[in-house]
Each structure stands twice: as structure tokens, then as C-alpha cells.
Amino acid sequence: MAGKVIVTIAPTGGFLTRADNPYVPVRPEEIAEDVRRCHDAGASMAALHARRPDGQATCDAATYRLINGLVRERCDIVINNSTGGGVNGDMVRETADGRAVVDWEQRLRGLDGGAETCTLDAFTAYATAGGAEVLMDTPSSRARELARLMREKGIKPEWEALNPAHLAQDVTTLIAEGFDDAPHLVNIVLGLQHVFQNAMPYSPRTLQYMVDLLPAGSVFSVAVAGPEQTRGLTHALLLGGHVRVGLEDNVRYAPGRTADNVRFVERIVRIIHDLGMEPATPAEARKILGLPAPPRDPAGEVA
């Protein structure tokens, strides 16, 4: 499918509040309707985080199932659920020595929401949010457990990499051990250096180097947080990659200007067209990623 680009919308994330951007969707119905509008604008995949009624982060499976079901009632977009969740709410617990850590059992619950793909963050890093430091602790044994459970549940992993070492170490190792069949979906995430301790800023050289490190048989997407988003995603398209946009990655449409998720999708779709490419439909995205078509009910609607 030469020239077809998967546009992923990441509408909510695990950190943002409406104080950051008034358009952040939080409730399941808000998220689903936002995703539907982004689908209509050209997005073919949705990277979803769940929130509790109070707006705090969760990986509760029932909440994910509710969100996913509401999305599927509205459109046939490919659904990705986060297993990182966020750095507050259900996702954080305190250790005996007073450290804040992302709760491992909560991360595992994120696998039971019925998504086609789930994030697999095979790295350990401190995240800083609201002045607090929270450890996402993912040694190789835990990364292997996530990969094994995804394999057993029929979930396609989305391998996330925030720096070159993440690709060269656990991602490459676990793929070589047979936990994921090609094509391998890899999301290169840049621009989070002010949030995650070992993340890299976007630069043309960094992105090119990380693309060069991709395991054979990879399909890669790029997310760039912050003001370098448009430049970095245009570069990703020129390298043959797919792209992610949305408020999770960028709360400002332009300096001093907020916007809703649809505006970000519309902008990247314009760039895709200007480069002589086309946004992939959800059906085309599933073919690119090696995902089965979603089941249909007897009336012919996506289940």
C-alpha cells in the first residue's frame, strides 16, 4: 500500500487536564465522540487512555471496554489501549520506602479492555509530573510478561521507544524471542525529555538513527511531543513512517493557541496530501499492521 499513511489520534493521554487545554476529552462518551470526529477527518487508529470519573488515570478493564465499545458504535477505527496509563489516580502506589511507582497490576489490567493493539513500554524511567517523580519500573522480566500476555490474548503489541537504547535492547530481544510476528508496530516517541528521564528530543539526526535501528519487518509510527511536532512528523513521512497526533502529544496548535484534536488531524492530513500520499482507512491500516478484520454482526455492522 504505497503512499498510505496511518494517522493515529491520541486524544487524552495520561497527564493532561482541562487546565492544560479545555478541549481534552475525559469521560468515555467525550472520548468516543472525539475519536469519531477524528476518524471522519482522516485518522485510522486511536491511542486511548482511560480516566476515572474524577479525571484521574486508570487502566481499569471495564472502563476501557466501555470506551472501546462506545468508539466501535461510532466508527471502525483501529483501537489501541495504553498499558502505561498515567502518573496519578489508580496508576500510582507508594512503596514502603516512600517512593511513588506506577502500579504493575494496574498496567496488566489494561490488557483486558478488548483492544486490537496495546502499548508495550519495555523500559524503566522516572516521569516527572506536577512536581512529583513517579517510577515506571519495567525490567526485562516484566516486559517479557507483557509480551507473553499480549501474545496469549491475541493483542498486537505497539512497541514504544523513547530513545535508541529502547530499540536496541528489549524491543529487539523480545521480537527475536518470538513474542511478535512481523509486521512489528513500533512507535518512536520523541520530545518527552522534560517528562521522562531517559527520553530524547526530536532532531533529524535522532529520528534517522532510531529508524535505522528498527528490527527487520517493522512498521513504524512517530509521535513528537511539543512545538517540534509538525516538523518532526513531516520528517517521519519522508522516511516512510506513519504518524501520531493529538492533545496527548501537543496541547498547543500554535504558540498561544489551543485547538481540539480534530484540528491536529486535519493539519497532518493536509501535509500528507501535499506530499502526494493518502491517509489510510481503518481497513487499510489493519492490512498494513497484519491485523484481522473486526468481526461483524448479522446486519453487517462492525461488532
Residue keyed to cell 501474545:
151
What is the C-alpha separation between 239 and 241, in angstroms, rounded? 6
Please give the C-alpha separations between residue 45 and each of 76, 110, 232, 278, in angstroms, as whole numbers. Answer: 9, 17, 19, 15
DSSP state of 111: G
DSSP 243: E
Q: Residue 261 carries which side chain, given as an amino acid letter? A: N
How does the average pLDDT of the chain come out, rounded?
Answer: 94
Per-residue pLDDT of 86-119, as tens digits, reads 999 999 999 999 899 999 999 999 999 999 999 9
Each residue of 63-85: pLDDT tens digit? 999 999 999 999 999 999 999 99
Strand partners, 48: 81
Residue 17 has pLDDT above 90, yes or no: no
**b/e code 43-75 from CB counts within 10 Å (16+ = b):** bbbbbbbbbeeeebbbbbbebbbbbbebbbeeb
Q: Which domains are seen in the chain, by residue range?
A: 4-289 (3.20.20.70)
pLDDT at 31: 98
Q: Would you state the pLDDT for residue 297?
A: 46
Q: What number is the average pLDDT over the span 269-281?
A: 98
At 16, is the pLDDT very low, low, confident or very high (cuts 50, 70, 90)? confident
pLDDT digits (tens, 9 = 90+) for 181-239: 999 999 999 999 999 999 999 999 999 999 999 999 999 999 999 999 999 999 999 99
Among residues 76, 26, 25, which one has the least CA distance to residue 51?
26
Note whether 219 and 242 are within 8 A (CB). Answer: yes
Is the pLDDT confidence value at 295 over 80? no
The answer to whether the beta carbons of residues 25 and 31 sit under 8 Å apart is yes
Residues 6+ apart with CB under 8 A from 203: none
pLDDT (0 to 100) of residue 303: 53
- pLDDT of 302 above 60: no
